Amino acid sequence: MSRRVVVTGIGVVSSLGTGKDEFWKNLIAGKSGISKVESFDTTNYDRHMGGEIKNFNPLKFMEAKETKRMGRASQLALAASELAFLDAKVDYHRINPERSAIILGTTMGESGVFEILNRSWFEKGLDEVDPFLISRNTANLLAVNIGLHYNLAGINLVIPTACAAGNYAIGYGYDLIKEGKIDFALCGGADAFSRIAFCGFARLYAMSPDICQPFDKNRKGMLLGEAAGVLILEAEEIAKKSGLNIYAEILGYGLSCDAQHMTIPSEDGIARCMENALKETNIKPEEVDYISAHGTGTLQNDKNESLAIKRIFGNNYKKVAVSSIKSMLGHCMGAASALEAISCCLAIKEGIIPPTINYQTPDPECDIDCVPNVARKKEVKIVLNNAYAFGGNNACVVFKKYLG
């Protein structure tokens, strides 16, 4: 069986807004979700900025007793799932649980819970550690908690391919529906801000002191963010019969592994990933209208992604629009490519390409069309969503305007 797969619902919780409408309004306005870190004291660090979600109230999306078994990442993921259901106007009771899947990506899992456990052990001793903390700590709970909430007893999986994990989750959901194994999937990614993640990226000297400037000559690094993004994927014939709104069609995806360096992405690996995606979907480079870049704002990532785009698109590389929404959100780790997938779907639906903000000085090594600072109205039919991760896990998902 080979079925068409479409996106019928979108849920997002981010530093740029909660819900599709607020997120998109701020995204195309070029607003920044970056602020001073407030969830812990950064006095002893030389970096103090990040894409934190302020004033998130999980009780708007779940019962109090549920929050007690969840870490923040699970709460964000469940909130995004609830928003996706509301957006799609889908009654989850109508879903056959055995023909469904929940597939989420993450980088850190429930690192915030681990942080609490570790601090409790250090400050009070082992006997004072809450024994239930360990049952809230494992990464698989991001998907498990959603399954428990909605009583969806089908495939339940977390994919931990770090900063490309959202794309991997969408790709696997696409495969399952296309092959007729399921009809419905909640796919995306979630990661919460934590001292552990902040400390790790700070020690890599990868973080900017103030703003994220992808593709700018004077870029100083990435900024850490937190978010959850969930997309509802359905078989096209079922969505069409049900009269559901369809944002976009997923044509397929490409994967590659650099097998080269733990933190520096490879031009060859990025190029092979896009090449595999185009080959899988029978799309020619000249048909691509927009690339949602991984675009972290680090020196090597942006340089190598630009070189890979030039390799794939040849002399026409300046004709394809490329932007990085990480300039506004920071790097939301396992949620990053899920949010970018949502942005791709909305760009197709609305005919607007979000900008790369904070762009000031052109870089000859990154001389792509990065849609600097201001959103651009343009009909968008074919989009590539690029995502790369530590260790060289690369994933590129292809979205297409749904034409029936």
Cite the active site residues: 163, 294, 331
| Residues in a beta bridge with 188 | 104, 230
- Residues 154 and 92: their CA atoms lie apart, in Å, by 13
Rounded Cα distance between 22 and 115, Å, is 31
Q: How far is CA 136 from CA 40, 98, 161, 286, 332, in A?
A: 20, 25, 20, 47, 21
* Structure tokens that stand for 218 in this block: 């004077």
Q: How many CB atoms lie within 10 A of CB 175?
A: 15
User: How far is it, in rounded angstroms, from Cα 168 to Cα 291?
Assistant: 17
- Cα Rg of the chain, angstroms: 20
Burial class (CB in 10 A: 0-12, 13-18, 19+), 60: exposed
The full DSSP string for 300-350 is: HHHHHHHHHHHHHHGGGGGGSEEE-THHHH-B-GGGHHHHHHHHHHHHHHH
Report helix, strand or coil for 372.
strand
Cα 316 from Cα 288, distance rounded (Å): 11
64, amino acid identity: A
* Dihedral, CA of residue 57, residue 58, residue 61 and residue 66, to nearest 10: -150
